[in-house]
Structure 1
Amino acid sequence: PKFEDESFFQTPRIRYCALSSLENGHNAPITDLYWLPDHFEIDRLGFPTESKDDKNCQLMTAASDNQILFWDTRSKILNQKRKDLDLPMNLEIEKKEDVNKGQFVSGAGKPSSGKGSRLLQHLNTRISIGTEDGQFVYVDWIPQKDSDTNKLTTSKAEWYQSILDGPITAMKRSPFFKDIILVAGGTGFHIWREKVFSGALLQTKSFSKRICDAEWSPTRPGVFFIAKSDGSVDIWDLLDRTHVPILTQSISIHKLTYINCKIMASNQQLIAIGDSMGTLHIMEVPWSLRRIVSGEFQAVKAYLARESDRREFVKQRWDFREEEKRELERQAALKAGLGPPHIPTEDEITFRLRGDYNEFLQFEASILRELGLKDEDDDQPALVAVN
């Protein structure tokens, strides 16, 4: 007794190294946070440049005030003579807010102004966003120059669609397929392929309980976990079945709030789950759910490719049916005498003009003969072929 280290039984205190100011931060609770990779950084104008430090010094935050802010943890030396450099790194989703957002109060070091750094032209700067209304938004954060004001403004969303019946609580990119995104929220979840906007590759029916979070398996391409509000976790395996989970495990009697999978060793994989009462549940993933099946990667890849081809075929059929419907409506309106006149094509216009020109040549020759300016034996005018 009394030989133990007393600090071992005390709760460790973690002090912050940077703090965002209230006037320059979000106006609503932050819902997600993501550190930018260490090989690039964002300058004060919002353009990606090559990082010379190879350190993670910038992050982006999303909140329910319809904004995404880019932050730099290094302190800024304010210069009154160069106020034009203090532009915000601010991506607006729906509404415009204060122009000084996205800046830290304190930190260490100095942020990059973009001078002397190589601009990364071919870097993918498009991000996927989930909203409280269940909308899936695909937008490019690169600022575009406004043709009217000649100022840099946030570009509009390239695509958005309401896909779920409640707030989107999780958007997880597959660790095996970088263009596959698991979108969960409301009472269902979807699997989307990036830049395929005709529909989801996999869409489930509505569940009786709300979905709180989702997580891909780090070792198996076709396995992912869905945390629900009734305290249970659904485990899905795309190789086994795609309409129902293969297993449902009860974790807590309270609402689950967070789920994360971690590889601890070659023979051990843990899953951490948090609930609304502040309890952390750490469980070990069984061997059958962590060991990859022979040929699983190729099988899941082939399944996703088939679903992508199916969505492309459905889109083509939609376009064909829409065109067919418009043509039937036009013909019905023409028969009823209500439709607009037929709009001739370029070939039809050329054919009619050549015919009119030939008629004019023949009429001109007959007038010249009547006036005695041309004999009957004279050559006929050269007509233009109308074929």
Structure 2
Amino acid sequence: MEIKFEYTRKRSEFGRPCRFSDHLAEVTVDIPPDPSLADDFIPQDPVDVAVQEAPVMALHEVNTERAQVAIRGMNHVEGGWPKDIDYKNEELTTRYREEVEREEVYTMSIQHLSSLVEHCIRQNNAIDIYEEYFVEEEEEDDEEEHPSAKTITVIRDPNVTRRMATHLSWHPDANRAVAVAFCSLDFQDSRKDMSFDSYIWDLEKPYIPELVLKPSSPVVTLEYNSKDWHHVLGGCYNGQIVYWDTRKGGLPMEMTPVELSHRDPVYGACWLPSRTGTECFSASTDGLVLWWDIRKMSQPSERLVLDISRQDQLKDALGASSLDFASSMPTKFLVGTEQGIIISCNRDAKTPPEKIANIFRGHIGAVYSVTRNPFFPKVFLSVGDWTARIWTEELMDSAPIMETKYHTPYLLDGCWSPVKPAVFFTAKSDGTLDIWDFLFHQKDPSLSLKVSNDPVVSLRPQDNGRIIGCGTKLGVVSLLEISPGLCTLRKNEKNLTSTMFEREARREKVLLDKHRERLLREQERAQAQAEEREDPQEVFKQARADFFSTIKAERQRRGQ
């Protein structure tokens, strides 16, 4: 039998409580002073002691070994065809498609897939999943953003002996790589260990070249083929034209013979939009423009002498220092010369002298760059001496419709923005990159950025206009990312730019007409003065007779 008893009580009700009371102060110990101990006291000078509470730490640096990274790729070609069908032959593939489309299995597959696709289309028609709701607010935010640019990647010439980065070319496939031509353009540069190599870099791994191009002479210009991405065209310092197939290494596939090539460095080489994608043409300071086909590079297919007198004389030809070709105008191209003259040529003309269509004079020195506007092909930009100038082909043999101010440093290159019609870039000899937007500012650049202490000699923007490559005289290529406001097309910007160009063209035409009228009046006045010119003897006799008649009249008046 269990007996249990519970007793409950508050804690404050049991135990001895603490009781406090007031007490007067009392001395517990009292030690009187001992004068005899004063003899043992030694006085000391004041001593400062610093105490640091933080723990003592040491700094050590360690360089780890660099990882060796290899780039490997695989070539994918069009597949799925039977062995007896050559997929490059359009006639065979078309015939095979027609046979497949007549089969019953193909019809059943299409009917099954069409129901699925129809369901997705109905969903998209019901709800637009790609609709943008706040476009206007985003545009307002972009307008308030100040123009800026930042360096994202720097590519350097791997060789110890530095050379100029004379030309840049972006890979047509989403700009994933960039080809850089390295060459020393200094006359009779005889530095030892001068390399002839140029390079292609993958932007994801810019510390080591993806491919080394090994020409027989330094390359001045490089261009990717937009139709066949694996073909790269190069113009050499000795005047030869070479091309590479990047799938087969860095050695040239073929090159032009020296005796039939240019006699001077090739400053411009462009691919032509032909059916085969194998035609190209080049220009050099020897005064020639040559057309080539990479399937047969033993001799040029066509030849043009840059003789503006239209006599087709090589001794009177002007040296080409820049070349531009736009696919929107497949028969026309522009040539900038060392004499400051821009030549507009038409390949479809019947005779070589007729191919020189128009001549534009305006620069004092060599024209280092001439490029057409991607939105208005008849409008083009030229860079030379200390200015950049905008011309239009609608005004024949006239002055530029717009131009920048005269700079103190020399201008060495220029190009249009591929996404904004009124924006263009200029490079100066003091290492500065200027970004101009003529729609908003025409006296000063919208952004001026110091890229390097060395002259910037080459420029090339990507297709999206967001990243621009700048090559310097010492072979350093800086990739700059510009702010969205300078690479985003706004509402009505294209129409406003077109109106601006048309207004300036009309103004220039009015000034040109007034100038011609003034010259005509001066000529007529000079002819009239020549006709009215009298014999000096007759003038003297007439003056003598007038003098004596005046004296005689005065005497008669006085009554003498």
Normalising by structure 2, we get a TM-score of 0.46
Separation in 1 of the partners of 2:209 and 2:333? Answer: 42
Q: Read off the aligned partner of 1:36 and give its amino acid letter.
A: L
- Aligned CA RMSD, in angstroms, stands at 2.7
1:168 counterpart residue number: 367
Q: Read off the aligned partner of 1:125 and give its amino acid letter.
A: T
On the 8 A contact 2:373/2:416 being kept in 1, the answer is yes
Q: Read off the aligned partner of 1:90 and give its amino acid letter.
A: R
Change (3 A) 1:91 1:208: same
Matches within 5 A, 1:108-187: 125-142=331-348, 144=350, 153-155=352-354, 157-187=356-386
Separation in 2 of the partners of 1:65 and 1:125? Answer: 22
Q: Does 1:89 align with 2:302?
A: yes
1:121-164 C-alpha deviation (Å, 9 max, x unpaired): xx86343211111111233344645xxxxxxx543734434311
Separation in 2 of the partners of 1:183 and 1:73? Answer: 30
Look up the SS of the partner of 2:461 in the other structure: strand
Q: Read off the aligned partner of 2:475 and give its amino acid letter.
A: G
1:190 counterpart residue number: 389
1:204 counterpart residue number: 404
Change (3 A) 1:71 1:18: same
Separation in 1 of the partners of 2:267 and 2:418? Answer: 23
Matches within 5 A, 1:1-387: 6=70, 12-13=211-212, 14-38=250-274, 54-75=275-296, 88-94=301-307, 95-96=313-314, 125-142=331-348, 144=350, 153-155=352-354, 157-196=356-395, 197-263=397-463, 269-337=466-534
Separation in 1 of the partners of 2:382 and 2:209? Answer: 39
On the 8 A contact 2:293/2:301 being kept in 1, the answer is no
Look up the SS of the partner of 1:199 in the other structure: coil
Q: How many residues align?
A: 280
Deviation at 1:87, TM superposition (A): 7.7
Deviation at 1:6, TM superposition (A): 4.2
On the 8 A contact 1:142/1:154 being kept in 2, the answer is no
Deviation at 1:282, TM superposition (A): 0.7
On the 8 A contact 1:131/1:167 being kept in 2, the answer is yes
Q: Read off the aligned partner of 1:62 and give its amino acid letter.
A: A
Deviation at 1:304, TM superposition (A): 0.4
Look up the SS of the partner of 1:34 in the other structure: strand
Separation in 2 of the partners of 1:3 and 1:318? Answer: 69
1:367 counterpart residue number: none
On the 8 A contact 2:266/2:285 being kept in 1, the answer is yes
On the 8 A contact 2:273/2:330 being kept in 1, the answer is no
Normalising by structure 1, we get a TM-score of 0.66
Deviation at 1:62, TM superposition (A): 0.8
Separation in 2 of the partners of 1:162 and 1:198? Answer: 8
Structure of greater relative contact order (alpha carbons < 8 Å, 6+ residues apart): 2
Q: Which has the larger radius of gyration?
A: 2
Deviation at 1:257, TM superposition (A): 1.5
On the 8 A contact 2:260/2:300 being kept in 1, the answer is no
Deviation at 1:11, TM superposition (A): 5.1
On the 8 A contact 1:132/1:167 being kept in 2, the answer is yes
Separation in 1 of the partners of 2:209 and 2:343? Answer: 45
1:280-336 C-alpha deviation (Å, 9 max, x unpaired): 111112111111232211111101001111122112212222222222223323322
Gaps of 5+ in 1: 39-53, 79-85, 98-122, 146-152, 339-387
Change (3 A) 1:4 1:144: closer
Change (3 A) 1:144 1:280: same
Gaps of 5+ in 2: 1-64, 73-207, 213-249, 308-312, 316-328, 536-560
Q: Read off the aligned partner of 2:387 and give its amino acid letter.
A: G
On the 8 A contact 1:185/1:212 being kept in 2, the answer is yes
Q: Read off the aligned partner of 2:314 and give its amino acid letter.
A: K
On the 8 A contact 1:256/1:276 being kept in 2, the answer is yes
Q: Read off the aligned partner of 1:274 and give its amino acid letter.
A: G
On the 8 A contact 1:184/1:190 being kept in 2, the answer is yes
